[in-house]
Each structure stands twice: as structure tokens, then as C-alpha cells.
Structure 1
Amino acid sequence: MLRTLQPGQRCEVWIASVTGDRELVFRSEELLLEAPNWTLDGSALILNGVGALWRFEPGSGQLSQVPLSGIPELNNDHVLAPDGTGIFLSANDGHIYHAPLGGGEGRRVTADDGFFHFLHGVSPDGGELAYVGIEAGNFTQPGRLLTLPAGGGPPSWFDTGDGHCDGPEYSPDGEWLYFNTEAFTSAPGHAQLARIRADGRGREQLLSSDTVDWFPHLSPDGRLASYLRFPSGTQGHPADLPVDVVLVSTDNWAAPLQTWALFGGQGTLNVNSWAPDSTRFAYVAYPPANSNPAKD
């Protein structure tokens, strides 16, 4: 089902600086956008909304739909190819597709293997995709971390322990996959941040916290990371609740450098949204009706 705004709810796209400043660059009471990616040239954000792909240029405020064909309605799992000209997309039919970033015909990457495929990472050389597989689309079962060749082919499985895992994303050097997992606790839904080597060895917990932590995203220079912090007791990554976007140094995940509180969750920070210069990143908030209008 495609997400839409509730009566009176707003969609707000923000750009946060590593200095702690932030700027409201887009606001709508009609169109719900999700999961910004930043283009390689730094000129635009790529987001999804109402099953389509959108390009937003913060400098001009211009929003335009990317014309795609041959691809079903999209969800919020999409990542740009490292060459800056293509994009990999997850669709609501459970498959991953590749398409030209400027628009055009899509090509399906994943096979009919009995799984739903939720893309989160592309290796720095563009040769491999990291995704979460959910068997038969049964969301009562935990997701599993897998990789496969970007051109299609058999997947490789990773042992991330018990419980659901999500958001697998390559480090800038391609040596690690960063993700969130419930493997470190018996509490239902208590996701924590972790990483595992790209060859499947050496799983590590990055942060032990009382909160439910999702979607770690490393900056292009590898020095910083953003992630989404849900309240303790949250199960999954639901929409429409108070959450925090957190900025940390990758040398010390336990000491936040900046924290931005907002109303959001699903759609806020599902994919890597760092600018290519590693000084800022984008996220989306969804303030409810009767909330005070945000100020930039």
C-alpha cells in the first residue's frame, strides 16, 4: 500500500549540517516523499513518493517526477549507482530494478526465487548489491542479509545471528556492511547497530543502547555516520512517531555529535542521504496536524 499524508499532516524535507544547523528545503501538505538520496554532483535529491521517483533541486526548489517505464510502483529502498548515471530501486512486487537516473526503461535484477528483495546498498565499484530478503513476503519472519551481482545472479547469504536485520549498506572502502539487527538482545524488536565484513566474517556491535536504532549511513569520507533512533520498545520501523536523527563519529558511536528530534520514522532516513562532500545529509519529517509549522 502506498503511503499518503494524513489530514493536516505535512511532509518536510530537511538538510542537516554536521555543524548542527539545518534548513527546511521542501514542504507539502499533499505529496508524501520519502528516503532521500543525494546525486553524485551534489545538485539534487532523489526521493520516492506515491510509487514514483522524484528529483528535487534544493537550489531552485524545483520538483519533477523521473519518468520510468517497465517498473512497478516503488517503495522507499533505492540507491544510486556509483557512476552517478543509474539507480537501483526496490518495487512493491518484491524485486530490485536498475534504471537510468534521468529516466527511461527499467531492468529487473532479481530472480523469482521465492523472496521479496529490499535493496539498501551498492558496493563502491558498482558490482554488487546488498539487500534484505524476506521469504515469500511473510513479514512475520525475520529479514536476512544477502548480496548478489549488480547484473543479476545467485545470491550470497550472511550469518547475522537470530532476529530481524535490515538496512545493509557498504562502507566507502567496500570492506564492511553496516546494518541494524535484533541479534544482540532477546527483547522483541530491539534493533541495534552493527557491521560485518563484506566477506561474511567478523560481526561487530557498534553501539549498545536502550533505544531502537536503525539504518546506519556512513558519510562518503567514512568519518561520520547518521542513523535513526526510535523509542525503546518500538518494533520494526513504523511511521508517525517521535524519533531522533543522530549524527556520530565512526570512531565513537556512543557519543552523539548532533541530534535532531522530529515526528517521522518510516521514510525519514531509510537510505544513505549524505551529500558527496560529507558536510550535510537530508532527511524527511512528517509533522502531524495542529503541530507548529517548522522554521528553517
Structure 2
Amino acid sequence: MKKGVGILLLSALLCPLFSPGQNRDITSVLQVMDIRTGKCTIVREFPYRIEAPFWTKDGRMLIYNSSGKLYRISVNGKSTPELIPAGSADQCNNDHVLSPDGKEIGISDNTPPDGKSRIYIMPLSGGNPRLITPDGPSYLHGWSPDGKTLVYCAERIGNFDVYAIPAKGGKEVRLTAAPGLDDGPEYSPDGRYIWFNSVRTGVMQIWRMNPDGSDQTQMTFDQDIYSWFPHVSPDEKHVVFLAYFKGEVAPGEHLADKKVELRMMPSTGGKPKTLIKLFGGQGTMNVNSWSPDSKKIAFVSYRLTKL
């Protein structure tokens, strides 16, 4: 049996795949996949929607969002989910990032009174959030390895582009200006690149650029797949991303409850391979969900509980 086929078959046995039906009653399945074997381990099932898990620096906990709030749970699933207090930020969406030193978390909260997403920073243990982007909407995706800069997707002049801002707050800088949506910006661990996804060619593809926005380079080329949210492994060898099928969504959409794949490619470029097919999309893997040792990824699949 070829190695790639073996991984897919093993994944099919251990991880939930496509779910039928149109009812929105959802079970969320928080899982961890070993990318070396394709084996998936269920951390916990939730009878409601959770989204966007990521690991803490010590590899012991996963943090995710649900119903506007953030929670932590042990990777082995044995602990009870614990609320992370965030003061007035009680409408958090699924765009959040751990600081390079692991002590803080950047969050995107749908701030009243206009309900637009804005970026805040607060202690990882919880506390009062500090506003970073007065303007909205702003959706956080990346934190530079030196801790000095945040990168995010924002709509300012009728177009969603990638912006950067000092982590302490200050003047934001526009890094992309192509027509259409640019989203999901995230630094490589060495800080050399910002990876992102863009629909500028008419098909959502993975791109990367220098931190100042120069040398924007396309990295995926499949015309039948819409590729979203590139996440570089801590050892910088791999990039994992979310893939929608053409016909399931429009090129610039990343909807929930769709047939999707998690794909992986070398960080130097090359043909991606499918890690797993699942029922998910929005919320499955919006943020970098690599384990600190680069051996595993965390993600959420979903199951419709009523037909």
C-alpha cells in the first residue's frame, strides 16, 4: 500500500468524514492528528459549536472559542473546559493568536456598538483586554516571532487586505492592495515571510510575501480547490491549510458546514497532499494549530445531529 493512500484510509477510519443533511444542529469534534501516521485522536465532543483550536507553548492545553468566549481544555480531554475571562470582550470570533512568548493572546472581538471586529491583547490566563485596532473590521491572524508586530485582515476602503500594526498599538500599514479578498496572514517562524490566502486570480490560493509586503508570490495553483488559512509548522518544514471544493462555495467564501479537506505542502513550495477529508470549514482550522513539536495538528470537524 502506498504511504499516501495508507494515511487517507487510516484517517477515514479514525476521523469523522462527510455528514449528510441540512439541519444546523451541530456536534463539534475536537481532534488531534499525528501528521506522521495520519492517526486522529478525539480530544472531546461538544453538543454545540466550538472553533479554531490552538496549542499553548507547553503543549498541554488547547484553546478554542465558542459563543463569543474563549476556553481552554487539556490535550488529553480529561479536564473540564475552563472559561478564560476576557472582561468586556464577550463576542470573540474565531481569529485569535498566541504571543511568541506564550504569555498573551491576541483576540478579535465583535465590539459594540457597531459590532465590528477589533483586535485586543490580554494575558493568556485572562484579564482586561487592551485595544490595538480602533478601526474595524479587523481580524487577527499573525504575530511576528520577535513579538513586535501583528498582521491581520481588515476592510478599510471597500476592500479586505492584509495590514500590519505594532503589537503595542499605533499606525497600521497596508501590505496588500490587490482587488478581492486577502486574508489569513501569518508569519513563518523565522519571520522571513508572511503567508496568506488571496482570491486575486479568481481562485482562492495560498500566497506568501516579505514582511514589508514586497515579493508577493503564489504558492498553490489547483484550479478546482479554494485554499485558505496557511499555517507554517514550528520547524518550518510544512504548511497545512484548509481546502474547499469548487462548486461548494464561491471563490471568496469560507463557510461553515461544508465538505472540505486539510492539505499539507512543503514550506518551500510543491504539490500539496490531502491529510483528511471532513465536514467543516469555517471554524475547523482558522488559526495556527500546530503542536509545539511540529508533529501534530489540532482541528474541529462537525456532525449534524438532526436530519
The one-letter code matched in structure 2 to 1:194 is W
Equivalent of residue 217 in structure 2, options 204, 212, 215: 204
Residue 15 of structure 2 corresponds to none
Q: Is the 8 A contact 2:43 2:77 kept in 1?
A: no
Q: Does 1:287 align with 2:303?
A: yes
Tell me the residue number matched to 2:20. Answer: none
CA distance in 2, matches of 1:48, 1:261: 23
Superposed displacement of residue 7, structure 1:
5.7
Aligned equivalent of 1:255: 272
After superposition, residues 1-296 of structure 1 pair within 5 angstroms as: 8-19=25-36, 20-29=38-47, 31-62=48-79, 63-93=81-111, 94-111=117-134, 113=135, 115-135=136-156, 141-185=158-202, 190-210=203-223, 211-233=225-247, 234-235=249-250, 236-256=253-273, 258-289=274-305
Distance 2:176 2:257 in 1: 32
**Maintained 8 Å contact 1:160/1:183:** no
Whichever residue aligns with residue 281 of structure 2, its letter is G
Gaps of 5+ in 2: 1-22, 112-116
Aligned-pair distance for 1:160? 4.8
Which residue number in structure 2 is paired with residue 294 of structure 1?
none
Per-residue CA deviation, residues 123-161 of structure 1 (Å, 9 max, x unaligned), is 00111000011138xxxx531110000010001111352
Quick one: distance in 2 between partners of 1:240 and 1:10? 11
Taking only the aligned residue pairs, the percentage that are identical comes to 36
Contact 1:36 1:47 in 2 (8 A): yes
Asked if the contact 2:94–2:108 (Cα under 8 Å) also holds between the matched residues in 1, the reply is yes
1:290 shift after superposition: 6.0
Q: 1:7 to 1:119 in 2, by over 3 A?
A: closer
What is the deviation of 1:121? Answer: 0.2
Structure 1: gaps (5+ residues): 1-5, 292-296
Q: TM-score, normalised by structure 2?
A: 0.85
Name which of structure 1's ranges 76-85 and 151-160 shifts more when overlaid on structure 2. 151-160
- Alpha-carbon shift at residue 163 of structure 1 (Å): 1.2
Structure number with greater CO (CA < 8 Å, separation at least 6) is 2
Letter paired with 1:272: N
Counterpart CA distance in 2 for 1:284 and 1:108 is: 29
For 1:92, what is the secondary structure of its paired residue?
A: strand
**Partners of 1:198 and 1:225 in 2: how far apart?**
18
RMSD: 1.8
How far apart are the structure 2 equivalents of 1:289 and 1:202? 46
Q: Which residue of 2 aligns with 1:3?
A: none
- Spell out, residue by residue over 1:193-235, the C-alpha distance to the aligned partner (whole angstroms, 9 max, x if none): 0001102110100010121110000000110111000011422
Deviates more, 1:157-166 or 1:246-255: 246-255
- Deviation of residue 33 (structure 1)? 1.0
How many pairs are equivalent? 275
